[in-house]
Amino acid sequence: MREVLLVVHTGHQSNIDLARQVAGRLAVGGVTTRVLDDEARDLGPSCCTKVVPADDHAAEGTELVLVLGGDGTLLRGAELAARRGFRCWA
């Protein structure tokens, strides 16, 4: 099964709303959405297909790390992606 890690700055409602829309569209396409455990509660069950710890292994087995947020969130996502061996684009 295809999986994407979604990293979201949950301090802004607009990011949460967008994350839910993105997760819904990915689900329709048969893609599992992973979210970090510290963000899952704010995002709610409709956004979380799989909850993973925010550790070195969060992005393992995923095809993409998708970031919704600002500079700090982008850096967090890039760090998780780099641990997986992804190249990062902003």
CA-CA distance, 80 to 26, in Å (whole number)?
20
- Count each helix (H run) and each strand (E run) in the chain, helices first: 3, 4
This prediction's pTM: 0.88
Taking only the tens place, the pLDDT of each residue in 56-85 is 899 998 999 999 999 999 999 989 988 877
Residue-wise DSSP of 49-71: SEEE-SSTTTTTT-SEEEEESSH
Q: Is 71 marked active-site?
A: yes
37, 38, 42, 71: the catalytic one is: 71
Domain ranges of the chain: 12-84
pLDDT digits (tens, 9 = 90+) for 22-56: 999 999 999 999 999 999 999 988 777 799 999 98
